[in-house]
Amino acid sequence: MTGPSLLSAEAVERVYRLGREVEVHALRGVSFTVDRGDYVAIMGSSGSGKSTLLNLLGALDRPTAGHVRYDGRDVADMGDPELAELRNRRIGFVFQSFHLLPRLTALDNVALPLVYRGGTPRSRRQAALEALTAVGLADRLDHRPGELSGGQQQRVAIARALVTDPALLLADEPTGNLDTATGDDIMELLEQLQADHGTALVVITHEAQIARRADRTIELRDGLLVPEVPA
Amino acid sequence: MSAREAIRVALQALLSNRLRSALTTLGVLIGVMSVVLLVSIGQGARTEITGAIEGLGSNLLFVLPGDGDFGSGPSRSRFIADDIERIDRQLPGEQPRVAGSAVGAESLQADGQRFNATVQAVTAGYTSVLDRELGRGQPFTESDVVTSRRTAVLGATTAEELFAGQDPIGRQFSIGGIQFRVVGVLTRIGGEASPFGPDQDRTVLVPVTTGQRLFGTDRIDSIFVRASSTETIEVDRSTTERVLGERLDEDEFSVVSQDEIIGVVGDILSILTTVLGAIAGISLLVGGVGVSNIMLVSVSERTREIGLRKALGARTRDITVQFLLEAVALTVLGGVIGLGLGIGGAALVAEFAPVPAEVTWWSIALALGTSVAVGIIFGVLPARRAGQLDPVEALRRD
Ligand SMILES: Nc1ncnc2c1ncn2[C@@H]1O[C@H](COP(=O)(O)OP(=O)(O)O)[C@@H](O)[C@H]1O
Ligand SMILES: [Mg+2]
């Protein structure tokens, strides 16, 4: 495929300033690309800069140096409304701690991203229903997060990431709060969706056996890439 | 996010915290209620008092002691009965055109009935100059005044209280222990006491000479001049001023028309209404601070929600609008309920208290306008803070 990659990171750096003197160099020049339909794992021990990288890839944060581009467009050139639209239309997030709104039912949680792109409440509910069905929770529509198990909550979160039909799924330690068996189910679900929808999938993990499932693994160490190893 | 959606989200958030929302609303509710109520009372007093003055007739000139500056407080009157005759002699047309009165409060008694009334010592022309009608009997005459006869004309309420429905004409009663004979009864006018005279139904008129002896004075408190028409009112005013100026200093009396009194009284009552409204406005302000406070708490509690919404595609503006709408919903709810209670309270006051209360369209508009404004003003800081939260920081919060 020609043309710009779906997502590219070019010599990305991120420095956190703590007070006047102290600086934390969380990323020190990271470059790689993600193309449509890719399945990439970002591996690294705790504190290696994985979450920092994911926030940059998800356009939630801006690099202190280097570039993050979507379809060739630099995120740094986008204003707040454009960034919001990028996150809404192109990216689906899955977090370690699910981040569901406790007041809302599973269906309303899944419909939440659609609220920011118009459409009738009816069409939103319909889309949310389909997404929940795809993750196997068609019988839990009116449950609130507190009434669901951890694995079920993460499925709701995946349905929410999916409902907007994004080009890229970004998952930060999606199995981190789950037991091994449930974690495997969640990984299988993500992989199935990636395959079915042609969505690119970037999974962040510190567990080697999860990283091993991906087509490609990028390893981070102290804010730098360890040369890529094909799976 | 569409406006409808934003309102739905705001209401949902408020409903999920009912008690807190209700308590926050209460501050605004009380503020709006007191603004509406106090402004209504001020407005009602204005209508009532200007109405009472207008009831005296538009061609009337009032001669009051002092230099006419209401701000300088009451002055001691230096008028005497002779001033009235001297003015009247200088005015053209049918007389009497000038009347005067001295006022005192005395205890009345008849057949064991006691009644406290305002006793007005008046000149013979009083009822005709002030256009007061008698329901029964006759006003007293010049000869009653000249001979200090102990005759009296009763206000309608006074007559009822003293003689319990029987015909009072020709009956005896006492004022401060001295016997008087009733010669007439005024028709009821249904007014109330005002700064320009006592309740005209609860009064007793006696000849000025008799009354002055009763009060132990020879002073006259106020003089009334009836102009023959609106056109001649200025001529009559300067005549009156000239005659009084022969005997008194310029700053010892002032001649004012009904319009001028209404103007001055209207100004005073407007200031009063504004002050009352402003005092009530302070409670509205306190309510607004409460809204601000609770919205800040809400923003900090929902930091993660805000971060999540941003990750899902909310713009800064969407978040700001969402929280602003929450604040405005709180204050408008308080405003509407407060308005209802304020109107209800004004109706109760008008019904049961001697102070009138009048709800005007502008006090309603003011109440609703200010509650929206309070929501925006006190909501904007928390809402902006919410909108500007960094999504990464917000999502990290646990
Ligand atoms: N907001 C922040 N402020 C300061 N330092 C931070 C911040 N976020 C992360 N860091 C630091 O940056 C480094 C990388 O953190 P992170 O990206 O969270 O690593 P990982 O997700 O791989 O555990 C760590 O040393 C962490 O302490
Ligand atoms: Mg991390």
Q: What are B135-193's pLDDT values in tens digits?
A: 889 888 889 999 999 999 999 889 988 888 788 999 999 998 899 999 999 988 766 55
Q: What is each CA distance from B107 to B40, B134, B159, B192, in whole angstroms?
A: 35, 23, 14, 20
Written as six digits, the tokens of B288 are: 């607004």
User: Does A19 reside within a domain?
Assistant: no
Q: Which residue of A has its CA nearest to B391?
A: A60
User: Does A58 sit within 8 Å of B311, measured CB to CB?
Assistant: yes
Q: Under DSSP, is residue B194 helix (H, G, I), strand (E, B) or coil?
A: strand
User: Does A69 reside within a domain?
Assistant: no
Identify the DSSP state of B233.
H
Whether residue B302 lies within 8 A of chain A, CB to CB, comes out as: no
Q: What is the pLDDT of residue A231?
A: 46
Give me the CATH number covering residue A41: 3.40.50.300
Ligand 1-lining residues (CB < 6 angstroms): A 16, 18, 24, 26, 44, 46-52
Q: Residue A174's domain spans which residues?
A: 36-48+84-230
Q: Under DSSP, is residue A27 helix (H, G, I), strand (E, B) or coil?
A: strand
Q: What are B293-326's pLDDT values in tens digits?
A: 999 999 999 999 999 999 999 999 999 999 999 9
Q: What is the pLDDT of residue A228?
A: 53
Which amino acid is it at B241?
E
Q: What is the pLDDT of residue A82?
A: 96
Q: Which ipTM score applies to this complex?
A: 0.94
- pLDDT band, very low/low/confident/very high, at B328 (cuts 50, 70, 90): very high
User: Does A66 reside within a domain?
Assistant: no
User: Does A9 reside within a domain?
Assistant: no
User: Does B312 sit within 8 Å of A160, measured CB to CB?
Assistant: yes
The DSSP annotation for A120-175 comes to: -HHHHHHHHHHHHHHTT-TT-TT--GGGS-HHHHHHHHHHHHHTT--SEEEEESTT
Lowest mean pLDDT among A37-51, A150-164, A199-213, B159-173: B159-173
Q: What contacts B265, CB < 8 A, 6 or more positions away?
A: B46, B49, B50, B53, B195
User: Does A88 reside within a domain?
Assistant: yes
Q: By alpha-carbon position, which residue is closest to atom 2 of ligand 1?
A: A16
**CB < 8 Å to A117, chain B:** 313
Half-sphere exposure of A213 (CA within 13 A, CB side): 20
Phi/psi of residue A84, each to 5°? -60, -45
Q: Give pTM, 2 decimals.
A: 0.75
**CB < 8 Å to B392, chain A:** 55, 60-61
User: Does A143 reside within a domain?
Assistant: yes
Whether the Cβ atoms of residue B220 and residue B84 lie closer than 8 Å to each other = yes
User: Does A97 sit within 8 Å of B312, measured CB to CB?
Assistant: no
User: Does A217 reside within a domain?
Assistant: yes
Can you tell me which atom of ligand 1 is nearest the CA of A14? Answer: 12
- pLDDT band, very low/low/confident/very high, at A113 (cuts 50, 70, 90): very high
Can you tell me which atom of ligand 1 is nearest the CA of A46? Answer: 23
Q: How many domains does chain A have?
A: 1
Whether residue A55 lies within 8 A of chain B, CB to CB, comes out as: yes
Task: Count contacts between A and B (CB, < 8 Å).
Answer: 61
Q: Which residues pair with B154 in a beta bridge?
A: B185, B204
- Rounded CA separation A181/A187 (Å): 10
